[in-house]
Chains A and B, each alone.
Chain A
């Protein structure tokens, strides 16, 4: 095993402590004695090399289906008969209770209650692990979004994907280890896939793909120009042959190394060295992974690709599978907005139509390729919505109780964990805070959230700060 890619000596020590018992005798003591610059030099090819986790992992990779804006749990995955009875009656929150306009039914062997909004997902009920006792600290989008991604809404902290990369490295050195497809520019922006104080190589890379229905794609072309088939710009060098480019890159890297040697410690330059190498390799890898021509019609149809309403998100889901297959460690896709203060009846239904089939297709596809067992699927938004109405036709933000789900990667299927009160307002049973969610995700990846630390500003920083506990009940 290669040493962890720390450019900070004290950090390497803490990492070493965490990994000592497992690491196969690499000369850590010698490593710890090197200066930071030498350490970086030593690690020049290993910034994202795969690393042995703290213990046997259940999941090797993560696909996070991020439903931005706060999807309503009481209309989708948290069945509340009481809410139906109390519809229109005064709640203690100023506005009256609002029943879900949709019917719920039990599905699968497990009999999980799922709303009619998600008919395709419901067919995979026995793969789902519903987390019905979620809660977080803030009912505002930006704060909750950033907390969901980084654990902290006040300070700039590394995102869960960055921590994952820091802990595990990545399996494909030709693609970024952490990809965020169509991330939002608002609500925390790049912080949501940022590396903060972790090495720059841990940062997520943004891919932009057409996120629109077939109908809109024509219009999009007119408005935005030809869609970039590679998801990123400048993916191809049209100026030099590969060998000239390689020589040029060697020169750039050598110049950067000269600089780094003088500076002894310079994360900017270290990041640049890593990024140029990765960028060079991406020139081949990205066009290949983005090229869907080798997918069968049947597979495309499974994701709803080329269908009006599901094409946009279907493509994201299919790409997520392709990234996962290629060894990308952490993949996030986004859909939104689920922020239905009003018009929930049409807007939420639209959201569900656009995502239900693609997500079900992703589960089915991963399963038949035997990838679901070690791919952890995460679904959810920054919070849920209130069981009482907002403006009569919608629901307000609710961070006190909401539902997310996991699937694959070592979690129980057909399982429901945690519960909100009888109206669906507040988590009351087996509550799962964002910190607990993070702790559990890391655990499934074979990482101990208390041992995965990075020394910064005089403290051993963690994704879970000083909190978080693993929800052992949901482990398969």
Chain B
């Protein structure tokens, strides 16, 4: 494991320690005031202080904490250690030191001697951060606990579920009861063709091939009884759930929630070369129907779970990529600020993804709407503060780079091909050349020759990039296996509430814990929870007795993944419903709080949550159960009377008509054109563009130039540089949890469909497929391929008219005319929507 120890040292955040009381005597302070402080103010504050708003290299020297904490390279001052105090090293202006400070010239020897003396004295420094008065909460937790979402889901006894001749399953019973209450009547059942098409798209994200369509509609239509019809439908559901395409479709859903992307976004937008492992983990997790509670534990605390073997550990660690792939401002100078923002992002994502709760709103003050005191935020922050997040990047390109987790030899597959001897030798030569060039430049600087700073930066970047590339291989040229993810620190860091969220305004210390409103009064801290024997037992069952984590992440994961947490099962059951119907029972899928919507069918939501838990958190079972309801199999037909009462179909009197998601639109085009490559690519396509920030070392035209006919889930996912088709059709930019996508409709989509070469290419490929049929069957087969049905009489007339129109008006070849017709099919609203 290549863990960077340095990182542990670098974060001794906000420990207002009683460090070296001996040093903090009056004499020491006097020495600091007369000999040290004036030098710091004169020579260092300009680039390293709060007042100048600069923290070059992440370092500030205007408080004792900041000096002890240090910057990117480690602590500036380590009491009584001249070798560990980087600041001292830099004052010496030595050749072997990375830094020579102050940059304008070496200080007089007498001043350096003062620093030496001061460090050996224990670095006395009165500039201690003051602790603010305790911040009290105004949140009424008792009242807060009465909110519906924080109550345990209630089981409706089977006898209470409305029985009706219409209902086919208990879910239908709930739905029809509400429909009756609202004076609504369900529309007819969907015809077999509509149902098959819906089933394929919803479960696999791909259209049925013509023979599949014909085969399944026949089986369903020709069923002799209602019962045998449902058996046929359930066979189709099972077949689709077993298809590897299911994981690609549903894993992509979770990627929206987990704001998955392959770059940092933010100010620099550096590429995450290793995020794809988490992507593949998600696809596999859905395909293997990993129980959702395990899925939660692995993503939050995979690195801490007990394991049977290395391979399991490696897979679990990859799952913690969940915590690492978010947006980061890696150009940030202040490491402490970056760390705080990283934790904030982790809290926000974790609580919204799993709990539908916006805890991050409580960073600066009590939550404005939900019963979440500011202390709750810092109780969670304490857990994440005791965690190190590894997301990679190269130091010379991103101030706030980290190392990665090295999983070589533990089992996960390589993401890059092995190097030949020659390739390896070339890489070494590149690295050595870059080193030599940099050494040369450094020599020049030392001898007093001016070297342009930009040049120096470029040379450093080049050296580090070649070095990093080389580190991706063993000495034999075998690719190494890296992953993004988390590890516990060696000890938890005391955490204080920050007044208005400001780093320099610490108030009371907050013990690590979970949300108060979801805990019995006074039982929300990790310590209090450990007194609960049932919690202890559950944790013990995970592994060896008294299995605990240093950070508390394992305990947090266990709290979230617990069947007793009233939100977790409801939130994921609602997400599944949303993915099945296009809308959740709670519309605001990521917000189960006061500002979110209340459930339209509260009892049904509870029923689904309880079923999910009882079925060992199996998502496939839930999908299956929903797909087999009469409600899900309804037609999407219009009904004037129902529509007047319930235009939004909140009460499910019909199936929602939906535009397909961006990825599905693209995949469907490739599927019908016969161009879709169903293989999973090795690693990420971004390997070709290398490390770096978009616009700095990696360029947008190059990223956009990557083309592949694999499924959209495998396309490069760089924040702000989404593939055009995905952008135009509303794929989210992964800035934050997006459980529900926008569906816009704009002329830009129409222009894309009419004029973009991608669509034109698919139309041509579809034409090639169709041209294999006799001329008389071409229109029919094109329609069958594109829309899963033959053309109507009117549509045949329209097609004939079109062909004759363009024949009169142009000199297009037969092929070209047919291609124009095929493109029109791809442009039709029906192609990119489901009923």
Contact = CB atoms under 8 A, between A and B. Distances in A.
Contacts of A236: 755
Interface string B799-835: 1001001100110100000001101110111100101
A203 B695 CA distance: 31
A185 B50 CA distance: 31
Contacts of B820: 240, 244, 247-248
Contact of B699 (A190, A222, A245, A268): A222
B824 A283 contact: no
Nearest to A256: B829
B828 to A, nearest CB: 4
B159 interface: no
A255 B798 contact: yes
Contacts of B751: 232-235, 279, 282-283
B755 A237 contact: yes
A276 B750 contact: yes
A360 to B, nearest CB: 31
B810 A241 contact: yes
A35 interface: yes
Given A237-B755, A263-B638, A456-B647, A279 B699 contact: no
B805 A247 contact: yes
B699 to A, nearest CB: 6
Contact of B746 (A8, A219, A275, A458): A275
B657 A232 contact: no
Interface string A224-264: 11000000111111111101110111111011101100011
B51 interface: yes
The CB with the most chain A CB atoms within 10 A, among B636, B750, B828, B833, is that of: B750
Contact of A235 (B638, B640, B755): B755
A225 B747 contact: no
A271 interface: yes
B447 interface: no
B100 interface: no
Contact of B700 (A225, A343, A392): A225
Contacts of B745: 200, 203, 267-268, 271-272, 275
Interface in B381-425: none
Interface residues of A, number: 73
B824 to A, nearest CB: 5
B806 A244 contact: yes
A258 B640 contact: no
A282 B802 CA distance: 23
Contact of A279 (B659, B747, B810): B747
A243 B828 contact: no
A8 B695 CA distance: 48
Contacts of A263: 636-638, 657, 835
Given A223-B699, A268-B829, A268-B833, A233 B752 contact: yes
A255 B755 contact: no
A263 B640 CA distance: 12
A388 to B, nearest CB: 12
B816 to A, nearest CB: 9
B750 A244 contact: no
Interface in A120-151: none
B828 A259 contact: yes
Contacts of B657: 263, 266, 268
Nearest to B643: A265
B746 A244 contact: no
Interface residues of B, number: 67
Interface in A170-223: 176, 185-186, 189-191, 194, 200, 203, 205-206, 219, 222-223
Interface string B534-576: 0000000000000000000000000000000000000000000
Given A256-B829, A279-B747, A8 B821 contact: no
A269 B798 contact: no
A247 B694 contact: no
Contacts of A30: none
Interface in B741-782: 742, 744-752, 754-756, 760
Given A239-B760, A251-B821, A225 B704 contact: yes
B95 interface: no
Given A185-B720, A239-B760, A255-B798, A275 B749 contact: yes
B828 A255 contact: yes
A87 B112 CA distance: 40
Contacts of B225: none
B833 A205 contact: no
B165 interface: no
Given A203-B744, A233-B751, A457 B648 contact: yes
A393 interface: yes
A275 B752 contact: no
A339 to B, nearest CB: 14
B830 A259 contact: yes
A440 B442 CA distance: 65
B53 interface: yes
Contacts of A225: 699-701, 704
Nearest to B792: A258
A280 interface: yes
B795 interface: yes
A88 B51 CA distance: 15
A355 interface: no
B794 interface: yes
A283 B645 CA distance: 41
Contacts of A237: 754-755
A430 interface: no
Contacts of A235: 751, 755
Contact of B752 (A206, A234, A239, A392): A234
Nearest to B702: A225
Contacts of A255: 795, 798, 824-825, 828-830
A153 to B, nearest CB: 9
Interface in B656-690: 657-659
Contacts of B720: 185
A101 to B, nearest CB: 15
Contact of B799 (A206, A251, A275, A458): A251
B700 A224 contact: yes
A25 B821 CA distance: 42
A392 B504 CA distance: 13
A465 to B, nearest CB: 15
A111 to B, nearest CB: 37
Nearest to B763: A239
A469 interface: no
B747 A205 contact: yes
Contact of A186 (B650, B659, B724, B735): B735
A10 interface: yes
A224 B701 contact: yes
A280 B755 CA distance: 10
A100 interface: no
Contacts of A191: 742
Given A203-B745, A241-B809, A280-B754, A185 B824 contact: no
Contacts of B809: 241, 243-244, 247
Contact of A245 (B728, B744, B754): B754
B647 A190 contact: no
B595 interface: yes
Contact of A239 (B640, B755, B802, B835): B755
Given A185-B733, A256-B828, A154 B810 contact: no
Contacts of B2: none
A52 to B, nearest CB: 25
B749 to A, nearest CB: 7
B34 interface: no
Contacts of A206: 746, 748
Nearest to A240: B820
5 contacts: A36-B643, A232-B751, A235-B755, A247-B806, A456-B647
Given A225-B700, A237-B755, A249-B754, 5 more contacts: A263-B636, A276-B747, A279-B751, A282-B751, A343-B53
Pairs of residues from A and B, 8 with the lowest C-beta to C-beta distance, nearest first = A279-B750, A271-B745, A225-B701, A264-B638, A223-B695, A200-B745, A234-B755, A279-B747
